[in-house]
Structures are given as structure tokens and as C-alpha cells.
Structure 1
Amino acid sequence: MRSYIFIILFTSYLFSFSQSGTVVLTGKVVDAESNEPVEFATVAIKSKSTNNPITGVTTGLDGLFKIETDATDFYVEISFIGFEKREIRSFSRTGQNVDLGTISLGVDNQQLDEIVIEGEKSTTEFRIDKRVFNVGADLSTAGASALDVLSNVPSVNVNIEGQVSLRGSSGVQILIDGKPSVLTSSDNGNALGTITADMIESVEVITNPSAKYEAEGTSGIINIILKKEERKGTNGSISLNTGVPHNHSLGLSLNHRTEKFNLFTQLGAGYRELPDKRRSVNSNLETDTTISTVGTEYRNEQFYNFILGSDYYINDFNVITLSGNFALELENQPSTTDYLMENDGAMISQWQRTETTEATNPKYQFELQYKRDFEDHEDHDLLFSAIGSFFGKTQSSDFVTETTDGVSYQDAQQKTATAFDEGKYTFKLDYTRPFTEQFTLEAGSQYLINDVGNDYSVENLIDGTWVLDESQTNNFEYMQNVLGVYATGAYELDKWGVKLGLRVENTDLETILTTTNERNDQNYNNFFPTVHASYKMSQTFSLQSGYSRRIFRPRLWDLNPFFNLRDNFNIRRGNPDLLPELTDSYEVAAVFNGDQISLSSAIYHRFTTGVVERISFYENNVNVTQPENIGTNNATGLELNGKYEPARWITINGDFNYNYYDRKGELEGVSIDFQANQWSTKLNSKFKLPADFDLEVTGNYRSQFETVQGEQGDQLFMDLGARKKVMKGKGVINFSVRDVFASRIERNYVYQPTYELYSRSLRGTFVTLGFSYGFGKGEAMTYSGGRR
């Protein structure tokens, strides 16, 4: 806290004295051969005496730049990957303005032969309504999936089940390139495993989204931006990975660009094993009976992924994109669980339950997008997109339960069958119009159709005949349509900006259990206002604030009352009567960017009604958990992020989040009223070593926190990553160890007057070794393909 106060005082001093001798430099950077603008070229102000950088910017889409400095003895350096550097040491000055004119950059052929793009940009970029984290240099995600990348992003946590949370809340919406995707709609977000670390350019964390975005996601939005090669010619990369437990994959990425077309494709295939060591204890305090389980669940997968797409540039102002993504997973889940029943410490019965499960999971998505740019302004555009996606699961499971000691209690044979289909269609229209350089208006609409069917059956072997268990068999149908319209207005000057917006959404939801004809129809309208503001106090210190109203609509697995009987003493099911959560979110943030240190902090508050929490119901020694709407939650938090570069060979990134919450509600006639807190921290250190070696160490800690019925245990774990460049930088050898000490353990406790529950889950240590090679002007990458 003392450091934070010092930063505020220090930047206030800078603000007071840094305005008098400011020089403003402008210019345009172009390709010497084509005379086309060079986007995102680096323009740096450097000291003539030390050659150290003083400040810098990047060029816009039109190649233009504007940069300010208070220095008096400096020169300008312009650089971009694949081009020769330009230094400008003499220039004419008119008052406080310097016009550098058009600056041409020639191609550096030697650099193109040797370069590997590492994507090592600033860790944090603050914009008026979001933060952008570049993830291109995360070594511990080598050979990993999008979930592993997200686990390295400040403010974001990924638990052992693959559930993504933002600032401790799981009510987060995940987008890909600003749009919903089939890869983010399945259970727990695990399908994000088909997006790999090498495919990701950056991750946008939007804790208070503007009205432009769909209102889904109470704690905000995580938008994954995928790479799309922009250099002309044919570029690509190939990679090979292996690991322990079994984790083997091959990936290929290709891109070919001409004046009119940009064709991109990615292919991947592999096999992996995901063991999960589980333990649970159900204690009946009234009868002094306990049932303990211990076993390992396996999810063995073959996976295949194919992406094909093309941009067609009709002319300078119109472009059409057509893309498709197909993924296939073939699952095999051999699992064994041992059970022990005791009464007053004495063994009554022991039995073993084995499972053999096979599943075929196809996923595909098609997208048509049209973008129209207008001549009067580079940000004046119209964008229409239509997305159709499908996710299916055909699964069959066989369960055998046999007594191994004591009283014969659970001997039985069961089999289940699941036929799951989800179709999702999104139609979106966005229009952006800058009326002046300061004022911009956005407006648009979105219509989302989600149609799901889940046919589930259970059969028991009775006297040698398979008999349908009608009490556990049903077909669940789910249809949800959401229509939203929005408008935002932004007014932004050099120092400050404000953005106001309003979104209106109508939700039409229908669920039906066809066998029992149980229906649940809901239709409701919601208004979602948003307010954002930013103020740049100086070159190094900025402030942001925001307010938004968000919604969390129950998803299929929250509503479907039928679940797999993998463990018939610990059953999870949905609640078809579940209502949505609504959250009002407030935030004030500050960012300081210095030469060696960058710090950002945020104070936030969220008030949520209709809070959804999984509740345990205990009867006949069986624990059944289902989501319920449990009252309100008032949460106030402090978040701190920092980056420190004490030397050119070391970078340290830190993240700390503290959350205090006040829960009120009612459960089965019992009042809920308690206050508690939780906190988490992450420390990431990157080292550039001799002989082109890079090393990365990441430590994570999440505190214990109280729940409505008990508590969630704490977690402490560490990841390692290493990289070695070979073949003049065209090849890269990657090595990573996730959860080095196998300490990332998920523990959950339930304490009730008549029963207590304990569950434990451990994935263990994953080691991956990979090699990747980039050709053309491509970059060496790493591909892993499947789930994390």
C-alpha cells in the first residue's frame, strides 16, 4: 500500500511539471516497395547520450503516428519485423510540432531468413472499457490448450475441472474473436482444449463490458483473439509434441495471402490421457455411518481438428470472410472406484464399481462475415456475421458393481446411453460511425437461437434381462432465443474519455421433459446500461472507471435434472426451475507505466441477486447436488497487477486479488447471513539465459473460502517452462511442466447438522516436450490440439 501511495504522489509530481516543454512528433510509415501503410510499426524516442528508449508508440492501420516527449536531446527510431530500421537524428521544428512526413521502410532480407516472432509485447494494455493481455511468450503453455493460456492471465483462474472464473466468479462469458463459439458452449468450457496456445494472439479481459457486448456473464467477458497471418506469400509452421501422461500431437498451420485472398488453415491430431484421482467421504452424523470412495477416473482421447477459412477482399472497402471449423473427439473412459461402508468405525461392506465408457463427440462451426469500410474515416464500418455451430455426443457406459468383502450390498450391473445434440445460431449486425475525431456512435443487434436435446436412458440387469429404469430415463429438450439491441456513444479527447451505452434484451426460454411432459417456460425483458470513463493524468499514469449490469442465464447442464451415474453415491443434476442471476458491477482502476515497472490496481464492487450455488441434499447416504437460487451477494474487491524488469534478462509479473463478500438468503427455511473473504495471487518470472535459452517459473495460490454449506479448500501450485531456439531461430524446442509438485488439489467440504461431506480431486503433474519449425515468413509454434 505504501508503494501504491508513492506512485500516486510521484505521478502527480510528473503531471504538474511535464507539460511545459512537450514536443509533438507526427508522421506516416510506409512500405518502400508497395508504398502501403505499415501497421503497428514501432516508433521510439531514444536518448542520444545513452541510446536508451524514452517513450514509444505504434502506428495505426493507416501507418500514421503521433508521439509526445519532454526530452531535448533525442533521436527517432522506426522499426518493424521484416524491415530495416530507420533512424532520424535531424529534423526541423516549428514551435512545439515536428512533422517527420512519410517514412519509407525497406525489407530486411537477412532478418526474414532468420526471424522467429515471439509476440513479446507489453503485458497489459489499458483501453477505455477493457484490458488486453498478450500471451505470445508464455513458456509454461508450450504444448498446451487455451485453458492453460487463460490460467496464466491475471484476474483469470481455471480450476482442475476446466471451469474458468474471473476475479473468483464463474459467471463469465468466453468469446472467440468477439463472437460466441461452439468451442465455448459445452460443459465447463473444456472444449476450449481444441484451441491451442500457438493459435492465440491475445486475451481481452472485460470486467465491465459495454452495451455492445451480449449481457451474458455476470463477472464479465474473456475474449480470445486468434492469430490471423497478415504477411503476403505462403507462411506456415509445423509442430510435434509428446508428454507424460500420454500426450502426443502433430499440428500444421498454413496461410497464403495475395492481393485479393487470404487463405488460412490449421490441422491437428493427437492422443492424450487425463487421469483424475478422486476421493470422497459421506458421513451420516445421525447413524454414524460413513461411505468412503477412492479411485481414478480416466478420460483417454483421440482428437482431430481442422480449420479452413478465407478472406476475400472485394475492394479496398469490402471484405467477405467464410470459415469452418471441424473437431472430433473419440473418448474412452476406463475407471475403477473402491467403496467402503463403515458404522461406528467397523467395516460393514466393501465393493468395487468399474466403468467402461465410449463416446464420439463431433463439433463443427461455420461462419459468414461481411465487413464494409467507408471512405470518410478508418473506423467507420458496418459488420454483419452469421454463425452456425453444432456440438454432439453419442455415449454409452457400462457399470459393474461387485462386493469384495463384508455384506453384499450393491452388486448390480447398469448401462446408460446418451444422445446429445446442440445447435446454436447467432446473427449479428454492428455499425460504427465516428462523427468527429472525438465522438463515435455504435449501434447494432443480435439474435441468438440455442436448440438442445439430451436423450438419456438407464437400464438395469435383472435376472439376466436388461430392464429400462423409467425413473432415471428421459428426453430433455431446451430452446432459448435471445434478441438484443444496443447503442453506445463515446466521446474521447487526448486526456479523457467517456462512453455511455444501453442494451435491451428479450429472453424466451422453454424446457420440457418429454416423457413426463414437465414444462418450464420463461419470457422476460432486461435493460443493461453501461458507463465507462478514462482520464490520462500524465504519460505514465491513467485512471479508468466503469459500471455495467450483467446477467447469468442458466445453461443446459444447470437445468437438466438427469446426469451420468458414474458415482451412484455422489450424483450431480440440474434444476429446471432455476432462474437467472443479475449483477450490478462497479469498478475504478488506475495504471502506472514506468521504464522498469508497470503497476495497475482496481477497486470493484458487485451486487448479485438470485445467486446460483450448487447445494447438497443428503438422503440414505447418497449426496445429490443441484444448483439453487440462494439470495444475494455483495462483493467488494481489490486487484493489483504489476510488472518489474530489473534487468534486460529478467521480467517479473505479479497478480493479487482480494474479495470480501456478504451473503444473505434462505435455504430450506434456514436463514443465510454470513460474511467472508477469499484471495489469490500469482507470480510469474521470465529469464533470458545465454545460448538462446528462455526459462519461466509461475507460482499460484488461491485461499480457502467459505460457501453456503461449508468451505472450499486452498490451492498452491507451480508451473515451469523452458525454450531453446535452434536452426537460426526458425526452430524452437519447448519443455513445460504443469503442476510441478502435484499440489493443485481441489477440496470441497460440506458441514451440516445431520451430515458432512468431503471430496478431493487431483489431476497430477503433466510434462510436455515439443519441437516446432516455421517456414516462409511464418513463426515456430506449438500445437497440442485436445483438452488441457
Structure 2
Amino acid sequence: EVINTDNTDAFKYDEKVLAAYSNYTKSWDKWDLSFGLRVEQSSIEGKSVTLSEANTQDYLDWFPNASLSHQISESVGITGNYKRSISRPSYTNLNPFTFFLNENNVVLGNPNLNPTYRDHFYLGVNFLEYFTVSSYYDNYDGDIVELARQDNDTNIIAYTPTNLDKKVEFGFDFEFIYAPTNTWDLYFVTSFYNIAEEANFEEGFVEQNQWSNYSILSNSFSFLEDRSLNASLTFTWVGKNLQQFQTIDNRLVSELSVSKTILKKKGIITLAVEDFFNLQDYKSRTRYLNQSSFGNVDVDNRSIKLGFRYKFGNTKLSTNERTTDAEERERL
């Protein structure tokens, strides 16, 4: 047996993170203040044994966060916050090994990836109990994206994780939660946002931006006197948007589910229908410098599912399973 080194690799990865946290909160009158700070020391080493390549990173970073809220009146409140965070590249993205999807498509790791730093700003106002209007601004330094880069000489498209020079996203959201009746719950949210991406390639500098809309309309209904019949109808609109220098076309996701409780609430019959308008498929386009490609994503999303669930035994007994405290679990 002879090892094919073109299709074989051993990648050794070691990551150590030391972090310290501090947090301060204070409430007075109708004000709430929270301030926190995380200090983090990271050491990373990745080695590709077969390719004899190594990557080491060692950095110390500070990550503050702050939140301030004020209840202006009984029906109006305002909240603002800021948070700085980090996203590290996974070891699979750092591995320089070439993975062949087929003769013309490969996935390449990038051992020179750096972590992504994100600064997030938020300002929101809730009023009249049912409404929330908010705005946000996100600045990504070195956002990690898997770019599809085509080689026009070899006709090979390589999907490679890459740090963008800059990515900025900002938007305005409107949220409405209301119960028109005691058997009908309504939820609606719409977001108008802009994404701008910048990167410097060997062929030149690229800058693109796109305004988009993302909206959800969800309805939940209860029927019959004992409310044993329930239905949920949800529509999700994903407008034309920019993702990693690709323009993605509009999509409409539709979902309908109906459930009926039977047999003294021990049995449940469910019926679910997804994508009944068949508008979840989409097209993608890449147009910049010497990159020009087109994709048509036609996924088998349309489905009808019928299910039945039955609870055996004494359903009034409570479990003795011990669960981790929510606050501790979140910290971990």
C-alpha cells in the first residue's frame, strides 16, 4: 500500500485561551446600567505535517461591553448598548489541505487566517407595549468568509476561507407583537439593512454594497373550547442581498402546521406543509474583476409531513434529571 500524498494530510492543532471577566451593574430610579470587560490571551499553533507548513498566532485582546436603558414613561422605554467580540477561525479553515469536491471544485484551507473582530452598536425604543423600533451598526474587522475564486486558466473554482479587509452592516428594524383575540397571536418584524464588503485581491480592490429587506409574519391560532386544535402559519421574506461578494436573489419561505391533541392529551396528530408556493429556490451571481459565475439553487424544500406522537406511562410524574443552572451554562 502506497499513500497518495495529494489526498492525505495530518493536521495538528493546539489552541489555548486564558480569559478574565469583570462586570458591574447599577439601577436607580428608571435607569439601568451595565458595564463589562473581558481580557483574553490566545495562543494558537497549527501544523500541516504532510505539507510541512505551520501557523502560529499569539495575541492579547480587550473586549468591553456596555448597556444603558431608561424607562421614559409607563409605555415608552429606550435601550442602547455596545459590545466588542471575537470569532476565531476553526482548525479546519486553517488546514491548508486541498479537498476535492469534483474535478472543477475544490476546498482550500488558509493557514494565514486571522480572527474576526466585531463592534456592535444598538439603539432601540419600545412603546405602547406592542411596538419596538431599533437601529444597529456592525463593523467587522477581518470578517472570515468562504470565497469562491475561479481560476480562468485551469477552470477550477476554489472555495477558500478569507479575511475581508472590511465589512459594515447597518439597519433599521420594526417589531410588532400583538394578540388580536385570546386565540390568535400575531408577530411581525421587518428589517431594512445595508451590507458593504471590501477586499484587496491580487487583481485589484473590490467594494460592493446592497440594501436588503428581511421580514417575518407569524400567526398562531387555537381552536375548540379546550384549545386542543392549534395551527401556525409563517411567511419569511428574504430580499435580494449581498453575501461574500455574491448577489443572492429574493426568497419566500412559507410554513403551515396543524396539530390536534387526542386520547386525553396523550396523543398528538400533526400535519406540516412547507414551501407551498415553491419560492424558496434562488439564483446567485458573482461579478467583480475577473470573477464571473452564476448559480441556481433548486433544493427539494417542498414537503408534506404527517405525524403521530403518543405518551406512554404516567405523564404526571416529574423527571429527576438534574440540570445546570442557566446562568452557569451561559457562562460556560
Which bin holds the TM-score, normalised by the shorter protein? 0.7 to 0.9
Question: 8 Å contact 2:206–2:288 — kept in the other structure?
Answer: no
C-alpha distance in structure 1 between counterparts of 2:96 and 2:145, whole Å:
15
AA matched with 1:728: K
Runs of 5+ unmatched residues, structure 1:
1-465, 780-788
SS in 2 for 1:728: coil
C-alpha distance in structure 1 between counterparts of 2:279 and 2:96, whole Å:
33
Residue 184 of structure 2 corresponds to residue 650 of structure 1: yes
Residue 166 of structure 2 corresponds to residue 629 of structure 1: no
Which residue does 1:670 correspond to in 2?
204
C-alpha distance in structure 2 between counterparts of 1:546 and 1:609, whole Å:
19
Question: 8 Å contact 1:630–1:667 — kept in the other structure?
Answer: no
Which residue does 2:309 correspond to in 1?
772
Which residue does 2:124 correspond to in 1?
589
AA matched with 2:201: L
SS in 1 for 2:97: coil
CA deviation after TM superposition for structure 1 residue 655, in Å: 1.4
Alignment deviations for residues 583-608 of structure 1 (CA, whole Å, 9 cap, x no partner):
111111122353xxx12222111112
Question: 8 Å contact 1:672–1:708 — kept in the other structure?
Answer: no
C-alpha distance in structure 2 between counterparts of 1:685 and 1:777, whole Å:
33
Residue 86 of structure 2 corresponds to residue 551 of structure 1: yes
C-alpha distance in structure 2 between counterparts of 1:682 and 1:592, whole Å:
20
AA matched with 2:211: N
C-alpha distance in structure 1 between counterparts of 2:203 and 2:24, whole Å:
47
Alignment CA distance shift 1:524-1:649 (3 Å): same
SS in 1 for 2:92: helix
Alignment deviations for residues 657-701 of structure 1 (CA, whole Å, 9 cap, x no partner):
221233333122411233322221111011222363111111011
5 Å matches for 1:344-363? none
CA deviation after TM superposition for structure 1 residue 743, in Å: 3.0
Alignment CA distance shift 1:735-1:563 (3 Å): farther
Which residue does 1:614 correspond to in 2?
146
SS in 1 for 2:247: strand
CA deviation after TM superposition for structure 1 residue 652, in Å: 1.4
Alignment CA distance shift 1:535-1:602 (3 Å): same
Alignment CA distance shift 1:738-1:557 (3 Å): farther
Question: 8 Å contact 2:138–2:169 — kept in the other structure?
Answer: yes
5 Å matches for 1:490-501? 490-493=25-28, 495-501=30-36
5 Å matches for 1:49-68? none
C-alpha distance in structure 2 between counterparts of 1:591 and 1:607, whole Å:
25
Q: Residue 268 of structure 2: which of 708, 732, 735 is its match?
A: 732
Higher relative contact order (CA 8 A, sep 6+): 1
Question: 8 Å contact 2:116–2:144 — kept in the other structure?
Answer: yes
AA matched with 1:683: L
Which residue does 2:237 correspond to in 1?
701
AA matched with 1:740: F
C-alpha distance in structure 1 between counterparts of 2:189 and 2:67, whole Å:
24
Q: Residue 70 of structure 2: which of 535, 539, 548 is its match?
A: 535
Normalised by the size of structure 1, how large is the TM-score?
Answer: 0.38
C-alpha distance in structure 1 between counterparts of 2:168 and 2:51, whole Å:
39
AA matched with 1:720: L
Max Rg structure = 1
Alignment deviations for residues 18-54 of structure 1 (CA, whole Å, 9 cap, x no partner):
xxxxxxxxxxxxxxxxxxxxxxxxxxxxxxxxxxxxx
Which residue does 1:599 correspond to in 2?
131
Question: 8 Å contact 1:744–1:763 — kept in the other structure?
Answer: no
AA matched with 1:655: V
Which residue does 1:503 correspond to in 2?
38
CA deviation after TM superposition for structure 1 residue 563, in Å: 5.5
Question: 8 Å contact 2:82–2:121 — kept in the other structure?
Answer: yes
Which residue does 1:227 correspond to in 2?
none
C-alpha distance in structure 1 between counterparts of 2:305 and 2:3, whole Å:
45
Alignment CA distance shift 1:759-1:600 (3 Å): same
Normalised by the size of structure 2, how large is the TM-score?
Answer: 0.85
Question: 8 Å contact 1:743–1:764 — kept in the other structure?
Answer: no
Alignment CA distance shift 1:552-1:749 (3 Å): same
SS in 2 for 1:474: coil
C-alpha distance in structure 2 between counterparts of 1:610 and 1:556, whole Å:
17
Q: How many residues align?
A: 311
RMSD (CA atoms): 2.3
Which residue does 1:390 correspond to in 2?
none
CA deviation after TM superposition for structure 1 residue 709, in Å: 3.8
5 Å matches for 1:477-488? 477-488=12-23
SS in 1 for 2:264: helix
AA matched with 2:301: G
CA deviation after TM superposition for structure 1 residue 766, in Å: 3.4
C-alpha distance in structure 1 between counterparts of 2:307 and 2:318, whole Å:
18
CA deviation after TM superposition for structure 1 residue 773, in Å: 3.8
C-alpha distance in structure 2 between counterparts of 1:652 and 1:668, whole Å:
51
Alignment deviations for residues 162-186 of structure 1 (CA, whole Å, 9 cap, x no partner):
xxxxxxxxxxxxxxxxxxxxxxxxx
Alignment deviations for residues 761-782 of structure 1 (CA, whole Å, 9 cap, x no partner):
3142233333334412569xxx
Which residue does 1:720 correspond to in 2?
256
CA deviation after TM superposition for structure 1 residue 744, in Å: 2.2
CA deviation after TM superposition for structure 1 residue 708, in Å: 5.4
C-alpha distance in structure 2 between counterparts of 1:729 and 1:541, whole Å:
41
